Amino acid sequence: MTVATTVGAVLALLVAVAAVLHLSRHRSAPDAVGRLLRLLAFAATVGTAVALVPFTVADSGAAAGYLLGVPVGAAVLPLVADLAGRAVGITTTVGALVMLLWGLLLGLGIGGWFLLPALLLGAAAVVGISSRGTAVAGDHGD
**In the prediction, which pLDDT does 126 show?**
87
Highest mean pLDDT among 27-31, 72-76, 84-88, 129-133: 72-76
DSSP type of residue 142? -
State what percent of residues in the chain have pLDDT above 90.
27
pLDDT digits (tens, 9 = 90+) for 121-138: 998 888 877 655 554 444
> What's the CA gap between 83 and 127, in Å, rounded?
17
Helix (H) or strand (E) holding 89: helix 88-105
Q: Domain extents for the chain? A: 3-131
Q: At what angle do helices 64-84 and 32-60 cross, to 10 degrees?
A: 160
Mean pLDDT in residue range 73-89: 91
